[in-house]
Structure 1
């Protein structure tokens, strides 16, 4: 489907008139189309009042905003930044956003050279506390770098703390990252991340629902999180208190059927309390990028098996292990006593003792046998060694 010029202008105007996530506006847009909705809002022929849920107060607010809307100027402003405005029906539109139903964005303002639809197909959100601990920053940066190295796009909100660390980790690995802002894509917010947002716009994507020059508000941050959740295959939360916007993102991801993951932290840390509550529910515990990729990726993208080091004793069969355990920590014993303790025949015990001798676990002491008194190359041959 091709988006007409009128449709694009109308949707661009609506991003100035209707707040992100406004489900009334989304329903009217679905029922009337963007061009007709703009006409009803801006003309006083009584058709706007016929829209279900359109109150006089709401309509007055829309009309006040419509007076200052100049979609042509907004489209020129974003084009001057090397950006664009994409709508449902465009080839670049990520159709997973349609899962938001009437809360779907009217359109997206985008800066950056990459294709949003293609990037979104293999993307993971990494979000968390703004006032994170050094541990949270370290984990977020590690996840960002690791996911980028595995070919995943790291999506976050460009905020201080975990968001910024995840973006920087991906950039440091030479990978892909996208920032979803709660303001215009030409507004560097927070200002302390102006350089970071600029780097993301050059190497990745900066995305927003709001038109150029629009500034963030508290409610817009919360509503922005639904776009992060819907755009990606899954959401990883690194440090979050009980009341946290990151948990809003995770819960939205759960409602949309996306994977929800959390990185555990100290049980005594309030910044990990929200993550742990998430993990007590439907969240999946992850500790590195490989575990994230195993969950959200295709068949065969498996994390490496996790286990402790393998020592020579671990490679012994069950009978040889019992024979070795039958030798005392100090002193030596004869083959009959070893057989009695190990629960095997004397001939079997002697055969195993000679095998253990060749492996360096035991040695002869006259007519008896004893443990080798020093560690072997990869482990301690003494009883209880690991």
Structure 2
């Protein structure tokens, strides 16, 4: 068996450093583990097409398919065969027009699947680099990071509720007991620019929940997240941080010591391989993991358009209980919490006891993008492709469309389309050597 031109012995050596002596069962052969590690860097977080492909064919076969340049028609046929033969396999989530003719409907579904696979291949192929995979595995071994698969005992089963958008693997550093505590955890999220009021509430909430036996989950950002983690550690409790980049490069850098303490007593988790840089798009996708892994989500302090509301949207869409802490009506940093309570029926919670009572309750569905709607006058929101391309641009060094495609994880045609919008917006500018980000 070879993958990326590496023989089985070399593959086994590379994965040994990130499995920590964990047994490899029949469902997780050396090649499958290596392929999962590779896919974590090839596909962007939340890539549903990659999730469907890997779930249907297995990571190793799916990787072989793009390495050997299989056509979308061939891959689509294999995926459809698997889905037809296995009742428990994930559904192909592609909308089709109602039709009484099943043959025509099947043809429409096949065409949409092949179109999605074709777009996916254009996103993934620029990132096919064995050197990147080898470096990420070697770096993970150096920092004592581990690769967690869905077949492992410690895998947080609640994340599987994300279905084909679930992570293909998880990289983590810390103590195994922290991962085991996730089913009994509550996410505490909020504004980076937190007020003294917000930080006080975060400290009281985190300490109170830890005293009641809950683990505290957050994103390690400045403000509310950082205070929630610190209070949990100060109370000798369990806390876990989900990152938007590799677990070898702590972000924000100002929380390096905090994240080091979390590794010693809890866990730091990411779906991205070591060496991966955090981007705005990855922060938004990271939020879905915080919401999915926790039994409930509490927004402690958030502005009208805070990213914490994105986490709340994911929690609600997954059927997780959602709570919000009210603040002074004159404080813009609590406007998002008030909006959750008023418009989306989040449960108003004011102390750790009320937060603990949320577990087991149901919350209503909140649109995932509601934090970007009804926000009053302002710039037109960027599309997800524009966000990813803007993150990939440099303010100094011109970058070609091909380079941006690799960095953003998008096809070249999608990059060109996004650049057109950014150019009209005044956010990007084309130069002779490539595109740059405008100040």
Q: TM-score range by the shorter chain?
A: 0.7 to 0.9
Match in the other structure for 1:331:
none
Partner secondary structure for residue 115 of structure 1? helix
Post-superposition offset of 1:83: 2.2
> 1:264 maps to which residue?
326
- 3-state SS in 2 of match to 1:101: helix
Q: Distance in 1 between matches of 2:135 and 2:73?
A: 26
Partner Cα separation in structure 2 for residue 21 and residue 262 of structure 1: 26
Structure-1 residue corresponding to 2:35: 10
Matched, 1:77 2:115: no
Post-superposition shift, 1:70? 4.4
Q: 1:294 aligns with which of 347, 357, 364?
A: 357
Counterpart position of 1:220: 282
Structure 1 residue corresponding to 2:314, chosen from 240, 248, 252: 252
Secondary structure in structure 2 of the residue aligned to 1:41: helix
Shift of 1:125: 0.2
1:189, distance to aligned residue in structure 2 (A): 0.5
Match of 1:235 in 2: 297
Mapped to 1, the partners of 2:228 and 2:271 lie a distance apart of 22
Q: State the alpha-carbon separation in 1 of the partners of residues 226 and 274 from structure 2.
A: 22
Find the aligned partners of 1:43 and 1:63 in 2 and give their Cα distance.
10
Maintained 8 Å contact 1:75/1:85: no
Task: Quickly say closer, same or farther: Cα 1:129–1:218, change in 2 above 3 A.
Answer: same
1:23 to 2:48 alignment: yes
Give the superposition deviation at 1:74.
Answer: 2.6
CA distance in structure 2 between the partners assigned to 1:23 and 1:193 by the alignment: 32
Correspondence for 1:96: 158
Does 2:254 match 1:192? yes
1:372 — aligned with what?
none
The residue aligned with 2:65 is 40
Does residue 283 (structure 1) correspond to residue 308 (structure 2)? The answer is no
The residue number in structure 1 matching 2:195 is 133
Question: When the two structures are superposed, what TM-score results if normalisation uses the length of structure 1?
Answer: 0.74
Residue equivalent to 2:205: 143
Residue number among 218, 221, 234 corresponding to 1:156 in the alignment: 218
1:255 deviation in Å? 1.0
The one-character-per-residue Cα deviations of 1:269-300 (angstroms, maximum 9, x if unpaired) are 111111011112231111121211122179xx
Summarize the Cα distance change of 1:176–1:186 in structure 2 as closer, same or farther, 3 Å threshold. Answer: same
Q: Is the 8 A contact 1:124 1:236 kept in 2?
A: yes
1:132 is paired with a residue of what secondary structure?
Answer: coil
Aligned-partner Cα distance in 1 for 2:283–2:73: 29
* Residues 1:282 and 1:13: Cα distance change in structure 2 (over 3 Å): same
Q: Does the CA-based 8 Å contact 2:295-2:321 persist in structure 1? A: yes
- Paired with 2:175 and 2:239, the residues of 1 have a C-alpha distance of 12
The alignment status of 1:122 with 2:184, answered yes or no, reads yes
Residue 3 of structure 1 deviates from its aligned partner by: 2.0
- The 1-side partners of 2:118 and 2:357 are apart by 51
Question: Are the equivalent residues in 2 in contact too, given 1:123–1:155 (CA < 8 A)?
Answer: yes
Between the two proteins, the alignment pairs up a number of residues equal to 298
Q: Is the 8 A contact 2:173 2:268 kept in 1?
A: yes
What SS does the corresponding residue of 1:212 show, helix, strand or coil?
A: coil
Query: Is contact 1:16-1:69 (8 Å) kept?
Result: no
User: For 2:358, what is the secondary structure of its paired residue?
Assistant: helix
Q: Secondary structure at the match of 2:181?
A: helix
Paired residue for 2:244?
182
Give the distance between the partners of 2:73 and 2:294, measured in 1 at CA: 35
In 1, Cα distance between equivalents of 2:275 and 2:70:
32
Residue ranges of structure 1 left out of the alignment (5+ in a row): 299-386
**Which residue among 191, 205, 224 is the counterpart of 2:267?**
205
Residues in 2 aligned to 1:291 and 1:229: alpha-carbon distance in whole angstroms: 19
225-234 or 106-115, which deviates more: 106-115
Residues 79, 297 of structure 1: alpha-carbon distance in 2 compared, 3 angstrom cutoff: farther
Q: Which runs of 5+ in 2 are unaligned?
A: 1-24, 77-112, 362-439
Distance apart, 1:183 and its partner CA: 0.3
Asked if the contact 1:40–1:48 (Cα under 8 Å) also holds between the matched residues in 2, the reply is: no
| Local SS of the residue matching 1:15 | helix
1: CA distance between counterparts of 2:294 and 2:119? Answer: 36
| More RCO (CA 8 Å, sep 6+) | 2
Q: Is this contact kept in 1: 2:323–2:349, CA < 8 A?
A: yes
Compare CA radii of gyration and give the structure with the larger one.
1
